[in-house]
Amino acid sequence: MSEKLTEFAEIPQQFIKEGTQFVNRCTKPSKEEYIQLCRAVAVGFVVMGFIGYFVKLIHIPINNILVGGA
């Protein structure tokens, strides 16, 4: 019974220890890394926007043909 309580009390301590190790290992990105990340996100937004635009562009005429333009 005592072993279970010790193990149960050990879990939060281990979590806090691992969390502080993770935060200490994290570093702030340099300016170049940040700019590269922003460019990658912007390219992703543009690509997804064009894909959505072309899907909508194809969907509207097909929908009008199927529904009959009612």
Domain range enclosing 64: 1-68
| pTM of the shown model | 0.56
The phi, psi pair for 28, rounded to 5°, reads -75, 135
Confidence (pLDDT) at 67: 85
The span from the CA of 52 to the CA of 60, in Å, is: 12
Per-residue pLDDT tens for 18-51? 999 999 999 899 999 999 999 999 999 999 999 9
Residue with more model confidence, 10 or 44: 44
Number of domains present in the structure of the chain: 1
> Following DSSP, what letter does each residue of the chain receive, concatenated?
-HHHHHHHHHHHHHHHHHHHHHHHH--PPPHHHHHHHHHHHHHHHHHHHHHHHHHHHHHHHHHHHHHT--
Q: Mean pLDDT, the chain, as a whole number?
A: 89
- The angle subtended at Cα 31 by Cα 29 and Cα 34, nearest 5°, is 60
The residue-averaged pLDDT of 43-67 equals: 92
